[in-house]
Amino acid sequence: MELRDRVAVVTGAGGGIGRALVTALADAGARVVATDLAVPDAEGAVLSRALDVTDADATAALLDEVAREVGPVDVYFANAGVGAGTDPVSTPDAVWDTVLDVNLRAHIVAARLLLPGWLERGEGYFVSTASAAGLLTQIGSAPYAVSKHAAVAFAEWLSVTYGARGVRVSTVCPMGVATPMLETDPDGMGATATGAVRAAGEVLTPEAVAAAVLEGVGREEFLVLPHPEVLTFFRRKGEDYERWLAGMRRLQEKVTRT
C-alpha cells in the first residue's frame, strides 16, 4: 500500500512502538491520528485524542470524528497493548479481563466499526500489533500468551474472510522491544517473562520495529517479523511440536534459575 495521503489511526501512540509508528507514517506522507488513554504527544500527528480502546462507544465516536475532520480511515493500527499477569492460579479474573479486553477485544471492536465502510469502498487495511508470543508463547505470562495468540487468530480470520474483498491485514510479531512494558513496568508480566524475552534475542528499538511495519505494509505481508528468526522458531514448532515444547521447557527452567 502507498501510504502517502492515507488516513491512518494508531492506538497506543503515547510511547513505544505506537509513537514510533506515528512518526514513521507521518514521514511517509500519511495523515495520522494518534490515540492513547491520555492525549498522546506524538510528533507528526494531524489529530491526537484520548481513547480507551476497550470502549466501543468511544471508539465509534473517535472514528466518526476522524471521518469528519480528516477523512475516512484507510489504515487502522491496533497497536495498544498491555502485559500483565503470570500463571492462571495467581492471576485474578480482573487482570485476565483487562489483558483480553485490550489485546484482543479492542481489535474486534475496531474491526466491527471499520469493516462496513471498507467493504463498501472495496479497500481498507487492518494492522494488529501482536507479538512473537502470538506465534510461539510467552514464558511466565499466561494472559499475555493467550491474548496474543488470539490476536493473531483474529487477524488470520479477517484476512481469510475479507482478503478477496479488498481488506488487507497484517499482524506484527516482534520479540523484545525497548518499551516500558519490557523495561520499566512494575505491574507487568514479571521477571520470568521479561527475562525470557531478553534471553530470546536482540531487543529492538521501537523505531526499528516501526520501520519493519511500514516495509511489511508496503508489501502487504500478513506476517510482519521485525525479528526474522521468529519465522525459524515458528517453523520448528510446526515441524516437531514435542521437540519445540521440550526446548521451551528448558528455556523456562533457565530463566527461572537466573
Q: Which residues are catalytic?
A: 144
Q: Domain residue spans in the chain?
A: 7-229
pLDDT for 68 equals 97
pLDDT in tens, 101-126: 999 999 999 999 999 999 999 999 99
pLDDT in tens, 213-246: 999 999 999 999 999 999 999 999 999 999 999 9
Please tell me the pTM assigned to this model: 0.92
Confidence of residue 184 (pLDDT cuts 50, 70, 90): low
On whether the 7-229 domain is CATH 3.40.50.720, my answer is: yes
pLDDT for 179 equals 77
pLDDT in tens, 130-149: 999 999 999 989 999 999 99
| Per-residue three-class SS string for the chain | CCCCCCEEEECCCCCHHHHHHHHHHHHCCCEEEEEECCCCCCCCCCEEEECCCCCHHHHHHHHHHHHHHCCCCCEEEECCCCCCCCCCCCCCHHHHHHHHHHHHHHHHHHHHHHHHHHHHHCCEEEEEECCHHHCCCCCCCHHHHHHHHHHHHHHHHHHHHHHHHCEEEEEECCCCECCHHHHCCCCCCCHHHHHHHHHHCCCECHHHHHHHHHHHHHCCCCEECCCCHHHHHHHHHHHCHHHHHHHHHHHHHHHHHC
